[in-house]
Amino acid sequence: MNPQTLARVTGVLFLVTYITSIPAFFVFYAPILKDPGYITGAGPDTSVLLGAFLELLLIIANIGTAVALFPVLKRQNEVLALGFVTARVIESAFIAVGILSLVTVVTLRQEAAGADAASLTLMGQALVAVHDWTFLLGPGFVVGVGNGLLLGFMMYRSGLVPRQLAVLGLIGGALLCASGVAVLFGVVQQGGVEQSIASIPEFLWELSLGVYLSVKGFRRSAAVSEPARTATSELLAAV
């Protein structure tokens, strides 16, 4: 695959992360996240399991974006490129733990019939809290480091995308990390107005990057440079 093919694959995968993550969190997980007594109620289990399936696809797309970009980015800075891949994997690990916590609630609701309702409710709330923390530490912090700061810097330095777009990534990453730390120490409320506003630049950066790469690919002047050609040659040799 040449750099333009890698770019378009990356763009499509970034868009897939939106298609899978937004419905999973805001629609399919809504019953279990908003109802403290879900584990003892009738519960729309199918909705939660569908959300879990979408997040499994999200994990695949997350790692796919890193794998597709690595052959090109490593020619700019191999250490930072590896850091981006690692951050993507860590983010996906947090998401996986969050999935496990919610499907465990579903399993307990289905198989713990006759158990003490108060104990079940407490356990269900604890598992939902685990999901909330994984969401904060993964998509709410690690994404800022990997997708925002590291990827934004490498895109800015390489010129593979317009630098104004890459600056948005740097700003978004810094704000997302700062808001994540603020939530961690109780300065602002998780999911509150402050954190939501701080997440907007990162949201726009990743969405814009996905659209730009899907439609236009890398900027040709940067993609045909020696580092990009070398990256392509090494990729072909490895295959």
pLDDT of 239: 43
How many CB atoms sit inside 10 A of residue 186's CB? 8
Which positions ≥6 away from 81 have C-beta within 8 Å?
69, 70, 73, 74, 154
Counting DSSP H helices and E strands in the chain, the numbers are 11, 0
Q: Residue 159, by phi and psi: left (phi above 0), alpha (psi -120 to 50) or beta?
A: left
The tens place of each residue's pLDDT in the chain, 239 residues long, gives: 689 999 999 999 999 999 999 999 999 999 999 998 899 888 799 999 999 999 999 999 999 999 999 999 999 899 999 999 999 999 999 999 999 999 999 999 988 767 788 999 999 999 999 999 999 999 999 999 999 999 999 999 999 999 999 999 999 999 999 999 999 999 999 999 999 999 999 999 999 999 999 999 999 877 655 454 554 445 444 44
CA 26 to chain centroid, in Å, comes to: 15
pTM score: 0.90
SS3 content of the chain, % helix, strand, coil (to 5): 85, 0, 15
Sequence length of the chain is 239
